[in-house]
Structure 1
């Protein structure tokens, strides 16, 4: 039977807590696995790593975590788009992890990622 999931999507995150990013994204990927083929291929622990990771992995999605200010998230997005034109980016709202914990992040991603992925033609 053919795979009817959309993808594959290669995801890079920008998060100063790489282990937490890995756990949260794994929960999102598992929850969406019936509809999307998503692989979390790497994490940038600082903004300085974004250029190298874009060049190394050529991802088609980048998420910036909630510890970044709106200005930092915009800088991350601009770098990603410059290095990988057409990349889908999404900034998790600043403070969401601190206010709601990992469950709030997963819930937020499950609401916001499907429309993002459905908006693209592969």
Structure 2
């Protein structure tokens, strides 16, 4: 019998949607043998979170490194009001600026298995 993997529907919160799509695509490629992850959309600002979580019903949401911990908490609280068991993760504030996109991809490849199990 074929292994039934969880279908992960990922929503990102990133003011640079093209970069989010590119970096998540790289992460998905590296992890494709372990996880079935679909990047269902991106919120360019915190005000879009409620609408897009309601629309896409993701089961995982990531905040990019431009958000402060307080802003990420607001995003996650909003997301959980719609999908209570959504998995959440915030990329450390400033990682993209300090170390660049490759560091973000490396970080996510290391952290996502801990999050998704």
- TM-score above 0.5: yes
Within 5 A, what are the aligned runs for 1:40-119? 40-118=39-117
CA distance in 2, matches of 1:99, 1:5: 39
Q: Closer, same or farther in 2 for the Cα pair 1:87/1:10, shift >3 Å? A: same
- Asked whether the 8 Å contact 1:29–1:38 carries over to 2, the reply is yes
TM-score, length-scaled by structure 2: 0.96
CA distance in 1, matches of 2:112, 2:5: 12
Instruction: Describe the SS at the equivalent of 2:93.
Output: coil
Structure 2 counterpart of 1:37 = 36
Cα deviation 1:74-102 (Å, max 9, x = unaligned): 11111111111100000000000001111
Question: C-alpha displacement at 1:115, in angstroms?
Answer: 1.2
CA distance in 2, matches of 1:64, 1:6: 24
Question: C-alpha displacement at 1:6, in angstroms?
Answer: 3.1
After TM superposition, the runs of 4+ consecutive aligned structure 1 residues lying more than 2 A away are: none
Structure 1 counterpart of 2:14 = 15
TM-score, length-scaled by structure 1: 0.92
- Asked whether the 8 Å contact 1:5–1:35 carries over to 2, the reply is no
Instruction: Describe the SS at the equivalent of 2:8.
Output: strand
Unaligned runs of 5+ in 1: none
